[in-house]
Amino acid sequence: MGQKRKNIVFFVRMAAFLVIFGLLFAPLKELVCRKSLTGTWDMTNKVGGFYNEPEDEFEILFLGSSHAYAAFSPLRLWEDTGIKSYVFATQRQPLWATYAYLLEALKTQSPKLVVVDCRGALEPAESFYEEGVSYSFMDDIPFSLNKVRLAWVSGQTMEERAELLCNFIKYHGRWADLEDADWEFDRGALHDPYKGYVFLPDKAEEYPCPETGGITARAPLDGKNEYWLRRIIEHCQKRQLPLLLVKTPSNLSAEEKALVNTVAAIAGEYDVPFADFNGHYAEIGLDASMFFDEHHMDARGAAKFTDYFAAALERDGTSLGFSRAEGDRLWADSAAEYGEKLASLS
């Protein structure tokens, strides 16, 4: 049997199994699955809550890894510009998952700009084949053909792919650890007032900010990473969606900068704008004290970066025709709470 036929057989069998499994075990799956509902990284609220947002609510979609969700603050951006946005991202997300998240988001949203952080291009593809990474981007998206395809490219064996699709297989042993939050869980009630952003506190420790602006060398991307980067670009162009590729401030190493230069070159092939903000700390107002760890800005740094990004939007994004929603009461209330929390760090 040829490989193509094997793939078709797998998808057909898996689809049939999942229909039966879903009808019988969906309530149990929701009960025992891992949930992150409280604390800084309440990712079940952030990813699952996206599906409870109104259709066509967001004019900007931020996609990528933790380098996206720790950098872009939609509430701050809304205060600055009146533009509504969401950060639909997960930790250490590979580019094939970012592509799937793009497809997921476009089921309900019609953004005027898609912003993708390219952190997923800076590691070998093999480094993303970890349970913690894969389940973080798989668990909270609903079953669909898109999810089946994501499981296929994320798992290395049939067993891994099946477990990613049917996480009941993975989590069925949690019975002894179930808490009230598991029994009371209602996916339809999930909501994140921060719109996918992760508010990272400040720390006393300072992290070095390497100077990589003078590095012009390029390094080849992992083949799988390059393939999915191009798929993201080509899908946006097929849908006539304006795309901006970025590298958010993350204290790039020299090796990472060479890979970022290659991403920039690929973007140039498609006439897609690219911005590496690591060479603009002084303009942004960032310093070494504004990082939660070596590669992620704290909330103070994210606020400054979002302000800088907002100013660039106001200057260069007028052709995108953003509408303004300054009077939204729910956003205003969330922004006020966010502002108080941010002020407490100063």
Whether residue 22 has pLDDT greater than 70: no
Note the pLDDT of residue 24.
55
Note the pLDDT of residue 27.
59
What is the mean pLDDT of the segment spanning 79-90? 97
In angstroms, rounded to a whole number, what is the distance separating the alpha carbons of residues 168 and 153? 20
As a whole number, the mean pLDDT across the chain is 89
**pLDDT tier for residue 31 given thresholds of 50, 70 and 90:** low
Note the pLDDT of residue 187.
76
Q: What is the DSSP string of 64-88?
A: ESHHHHTT--HHHHHHHH---EEEE
**pLDDT tier for residue 185 given thresholds of 50, 70 and 90:** low
The answer to whether 109 and 87 are in contact (CB under 8 A) is: no
Residue of higher predicted confidence among 184 and 319: 319
| E strands present in 201-284 | 243-247, 274-276
**CA distances, 203 to each of 99, 139, 303 (Å):** 33, 31, 16
- Per residue in 194-249, pLDDT tens? 999 999 998 867 888 888 888 999 999 999 999 999 999 999 999 999 999 999 99
Residue of higher predicted confidence among 117 and 38: 117
Note the pLDDT of residue 321.
87
Note the pLDDT of residue 1.
55
The answer to whether 287 and 281 are in contact (CB under 8 A) is: yes
Residue of higher predicted confidence among 313 and 166: 313
The answer to whether 345 and 202 are in contact (CB under 8 A) is: yes
**pLDDT tier for residue 182 given thresholds of 50, 70 and 90:** low
Least confident of 16-20, 172-176, 184-188, 212-216: 172-176
Q: Which helix (H) or strand (E) holds 87?
A: strand 85-89
Q: Domains along the chain?
A: 38-127+188-343 (3.40.50.1110)
The answer to whether 298 and 309 are in contact (CB under 8 A) is: no
Based on its alpha-carbon atoms, the radius of gyration of the chain, rounded to whole angstroms, reads 20
Phi and psi angles of residue 207, each rounded to the nearest 5 degrees, phi first: -115, 140
Helix axis angle, 145-154 relative to 131-138, nearest 10°? 170
- Per residue in 248-289, pLDDT tens? 999 999 999 999 999 999 999 999 999 999 989 999 999 999
What is the mean pLDDT of the segment spanning 74-97? 98
Question: Is the alpha carbon torsion for 6, 8, 12, 14 positive or negative?
Answer: positive
Nearest to 201 by CA among 89, 303, 291, 308: 291
Least confident of 25-29, 60-64, 98-102, 299-303: 25-29
- Per residue in 127-165, pLDDT tens? 999 888 998 999 899 989 999 999 999 999 998 898 888
Note the pLDDT of residue 176.
57
Note the pLDDT of residue 318.
81
Token pair, residue 68, equals 């996206």
Note the pLDDT of residue 115.
99
Residue type, 43: M
